[in-house]
């Protein structure tokens, strides 16, 4: 079919030129091609550059404690917002400029909202599955973007204050001329969860493409969201439900530790653990600058294969990361089976079900260590949770998830109390009670959207 979908350009114009539904309605009556078929709406969602190549995870990667950079490399950076974010600076880290995370997140939300216009089509019985896939996929992408934005620009979820804490504009349509207030964190998470549960009802159990979600992907994201909310019963449930659909771990004993990059750049196609592919990057954390944090390097035991499969040790004592599931291009920030094992293990441990927690953790670690590995025997609940949190750092390195863990552990006895950077001999700290766990909204959103700024 020679249909040329122009909706991507329409949506992009809406994002960057400030147009709303009137513009889209004009396009519908013009001679340009607009979505009319279910396949047209699917094409909106199959835009790799919008949904898989970018996301709202740049600040999460920059703000994590997984790495350092030298003063020389830091001072050579031209992007002021990245330098400010590295030090967790107060105030407008964007210095009046735009936020990639904000723009990319809302670009995905607007595209998903456009695709949800598929609801105006009454599908024939033979088209029902395709219609369901479009709607389910759009709901998944919108939820993922809202969740990623929430973890940057809102207070972490707290059931005691969520109905008062400021959310972000909850855009459920593509008319950006309508001003929407920030709402509350409670409303935001209710929307995320409702959309994901509806998405799971619509999607097939597994997607044939790793760029698209399946039911197992939706369950995995639900597990991630509930873990962040501290609802361990539900995070365990959804992690295990996802693994019932698909559960395959890669044996690291089969990998080549001498390879320049352990995993190829094939979008996770040959990696059985990858169930949904996204990647991200930022100049400050590229392989030529990043130096893996010493506390992470020191955490790998002698039998742990990841010490050589994940890292390159340079002559100048810098250690770079070569073990991303996206290969040499950027960092894998999608969803994979290993994360689900760790969510299931932590959730069961926090529920004091140490037998099940041990089973999940040891099955994963057996695939990460050489043949000398002996299953862990940990008696106490606190010790078990501590170990699982350590394994999250070791396994999920540079996936954008460490920032999430740092945030949720600020009020958890298992978490460290103070994070710090040293730049040009000066120490910069991020303490548990700091307002800087919430990044500021870009100034353009404050002025154009007429919404309140986060506290400094």
Q: Any idea of the CA torsion for 124, 126, 129, 132, to the nearest 10 degrees? A: -10
Q: Give 395-451 as a 3 state SS string.
A: HCCCCCCHHHHHHHHHHCCCCCCCEEEEECCEEEEECCCCHHHCCCCCHHHHHHHCC
pTM: 0.92
**Which pLDDT score is estimated for 450?**
81
> Which CATH class, in words, describes the domain spanning 213-416?
mainly alpha
**Which pLDDT score is estimated for 179?**
83
For the chain, which residues score pLDDT lower than 70? 1-33, 413-416
**Which pLDDT score is estimated for 35?**
87
Q: Give residue limits of the domains in the chain.
A: 1-203+432-456, 213-416
DSSP 159: T
User: Which residues, including other chains, have CB under 8 Å from residue 437's CB and lie 6 or more apart?
Assistant: 155, 156, 407, 410, 430
Options 3.40.50.2020, 1.25.10.10, 3.30.1490.20, 1.25.40.390; which CATH number does 1-203+432-456 get? Answer: 1.25.40.390
Answer yes or no: same fold for 1-203+432-456 and 213-416. yes
CA angle 274, 100, 134 (to 5 degrees): 50
The CA distances from residue 321 to 61, 273, 288, 314, 315, in Å, are 13, 19, 10, 11, 15
Measured CA to CA, the distance from residue 162 to residue 158 in angstroms comes to 5
**Which pLDDT score is estimated for 7?**
41
User: For residue 62, which of 290, 227, 277 has the smallest C-alpha distance?
Assistant: 290
Phi/psi zone of residue 451: left (φ > 0), alpha (ψ -120 to 50 degrees), beta? beta
Output the DSSP codes for 38-76: HHHHHHHHT-HHHHTS--S-HHHHHTSSSEE--HHHHHH
* Burial profile 124-160: b = 16 or more Cβ within 10 angstroms, e = fewer: eeeeeebbbbbbbbbbbbbbbbbbbbbbbbbbbbeee
Residue 241 phi, psi dihedral angles, 5° rounding = -65, -40
Contact between residue 115 and residue 41 where contact means Cβ atoms under 8 Å apart: yes
Neighbours of 61 (CB within 10 A): 25
Write the pLDDT tens digit of every residue in 102-124: 999 999 999 999 999 999 999 99
User: For residue 285, which of 102, 63, 92 has the smallest C-alpha distance?
Assistant: 63
């Amino acid at each position: 079919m020679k249909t040329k979908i122009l909706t991507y350009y329409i949506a992009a114009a809406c994002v960057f030129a400030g147009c709303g539904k009137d513009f889209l309605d004009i396009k519908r009556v013009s001679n340009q091609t607009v979505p009319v078929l279910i396949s047209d709406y699917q094409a909106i969602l199959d835009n790799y550059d919008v949904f898989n190549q970018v996301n709202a995870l740049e600040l999460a990667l920059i703000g994590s404690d997984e790495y350092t950079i030298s003063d020389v490399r830091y001072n050579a950076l031209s992007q002021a917002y990245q330098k400010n974010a590295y030090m967790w600076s107060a105030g407008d880290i964007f210095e009046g400029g735009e936020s990639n995370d904000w723009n990319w997140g809302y670009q995905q939300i607007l595209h998903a909202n456009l695709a949800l216009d598929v609801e105006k089509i009454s599908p024939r019985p033979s088209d029902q599955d395709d219609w369901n896939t479009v709607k389910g996929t759009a709901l998944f992408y919108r939820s993922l973007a809202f969740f990623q934005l929430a973890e940057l620009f809102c207070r972490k979820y707290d059931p005691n204050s969520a109905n008062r804490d400021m959310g972000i504009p909850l855009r459920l349509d593509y008319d950006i001329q309508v001003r929407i207030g920030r709402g509350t964190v409670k409303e935001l998470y209710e929307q995320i969860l409702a959309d994901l549960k509806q998405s799971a009802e619509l999607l097939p159990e597994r997607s044939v493409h790793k760029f698209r979600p399946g039911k197992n992907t939706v369950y995995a994201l639900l597990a991630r969201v509930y873990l962040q909310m501290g609802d361990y019963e539900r995070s365990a449930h959804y992690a295990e439900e996802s693994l019932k659909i698909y559960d395959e771990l890669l044996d690291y004993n089969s990998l080549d530790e001498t390879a320049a990059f352990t995993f190829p750049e094939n979008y996770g196609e040959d990696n059985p653990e990858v169930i949904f592919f996204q990647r991200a990057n930022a100049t400050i954390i590229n392989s030529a600058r990043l130096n893996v944090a010493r506390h992470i390097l020191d955490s790998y035991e002698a039998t742990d294969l990841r010490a050589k499969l994940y890292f390159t040790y340079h002559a100048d004592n810098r250690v770079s990361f070569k073990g991303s599931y996206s290969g040499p291009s950027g960092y894998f920030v999608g969803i994979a089976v290993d994360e689900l094992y760790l969510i299931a293990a932590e959730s069961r441990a926090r529920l004091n079900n140490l037998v099940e927690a041990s089973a999940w953790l040891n099955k994963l670690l057996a695939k990460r260590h050489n043949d000398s590995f002996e299953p862990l025997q940990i008696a106490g609940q606190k010790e078990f949770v501590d170990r699982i949190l350590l394994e999250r750092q070791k396994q999920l390195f540079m996936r954008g998830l460490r920032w999430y863990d740092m945030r949720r552990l600020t009020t958890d006895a298992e978490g460290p109390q103070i994070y710090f950077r040293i730049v040009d001999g000066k120490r910069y700290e991020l303490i548990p009670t700091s307002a800087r766990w919430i990044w500021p909204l870009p100034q353009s959103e404050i002025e154009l959207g007429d919404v309140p700024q986060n506290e400094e």
